[in-house]
Amino acid sequence: MAILDESNVIIEALSPEWYKHQAGRADVLRLDLLHPIISGNKWYKLKLNIEFAVANGLKRIVTFGGGHSNHLAATAYTAKLYGLKAVGIVRGHYPQLTPTLEACKSDGMELMMMSKGDYDAAEEKSREDEFVFGDCDSYVIPEGGANELGRTGAGMIAHFCSTRYTHIALSVGSGTTFAGIRNNMLKNQKLLGFVPIKGGKYLNNHIAPYTGGNNENWELFDDWHFGGFGKWDSELINFMNDFYKIHSIPLDIIYTSKMMYGIRKLIMQGHFNSYDRILCIHTGGLQGNASIKNELTY
């Protein structure tokens, strides 16, 4: 039962002038076009999890996320489509709901807010005993969809990464999508992960166990975090507006803007050869732009 189909997904070439012709070619895989809410990689990470719940007669999805979490928004919407109940455990208290939490609520998700400390403990515990939050009708998905079915589902994205690409680039949060793609792409392609988190290279240790400990064909970059996760400045906003003006492709403020910024920097630093072809994966997340819509020209 595939509720979304991939026929909307396209690959677009970026303007070679934007990267001053310093690489063979850079394209964007528009996973953001899958669906406005269940966007990009979130659909792939959820798909097998939700199908598992349905196949096992489980009626309620319980999952975790922050106040701006694309994963919570996607889970709320997907659960609604499949006729399942959804509970979102939220990291922190939001007396006034964020646009993301508003959307979750209007899609029927029950929100349970917790202090950051309680949340972290609960999320940790749910990984050990997934029924801790529910009854036997519930299915618990960890924060970010970071489980085996999430990684396997994300691996399906690799079928877009054809042999003509030497490099595949994407933004990294939990590393779930990165690990899934890494294990399904061609071994002579190189996977570049852009972590929008200060000190984000700690994720090397989280990802390595899922890639057989091998990191020959993948690398993480954490230089372009703009102050840390969820932080940005006017330079990033200008970058997003310029990128849209040139390519008519909207980027999100948390993940894909920082990835494209980083890719352009690497290209300008001479990281690539003239025959390298880069596929940049637009993992979606545009719902998160609601909180900065006044600053964007799109």
Ligand X SMILES: *Cc1c(COP(=O)(O)O)cnc(C)c1O
In sequence order, what DSSP letters do the residues of 158-198 get, joined into one string? GGGS-TT-SEEEEE-SSSHHHHHHHTTS-TTSEEEEE--ST
Task: Determine if 19 is a binding residue for ligand X (CB under 6 A).
Answer: no
Q: Specify whether the CB–CB gap between 51 and 1 falls below 8 A.
A: yes
Work out whether the CA dihedral 265, 269, 270, 271 comes out positive or negative: negative
From the CB of 21, what's the least distance to ligand X, in Å? 28
List the structure tokens of 72: 């919570």
From the CB of 270, what's the least distance to ligand X, in Å? 26
From the CB of 220, what's the least distance to ligand X, in Å? 11
At 38, which amino acid appears?
Answer: I
Q: Which of 22, 32 has the CB closer to ligand X? A: 32
Q: Which of 41, 189 has the CB closer to ligand X? A: 41
Contact residue for ligand X among 147, 177, 257, 289 (CB under 6 A): 177
Q: Which of 22, 71 has the CB closer to ligand X? A: 71
Give the CB-nearest residue to ligand X. Answer: 285
Contact residue for ligand X among 65, 142, 153, 173 (CB under 6 A): 173
List the structure tokens of 119: 């949340």
Nearest to 9 by CA among 159, 184, 191: 159
Task: Determine if 88 is a binding residue for ligand X (CB under 6 A).
Answer: no
Distances (CA, A) of 273 to 17, 100, 162, 189, 290: 16, 41, 19, 14, 38
State the chain's maximal CA–CA distance in angstroms: 57
From the CB of 42, what's the least distance to ligand X, in Å? 6
Site for ligand X in 32-51 (CB under 6 A): 40-42
Residues that bind ligand X (CB under 6 A): 40-42, 70-71, 144, 171-178, 252, 255-256, 283-285
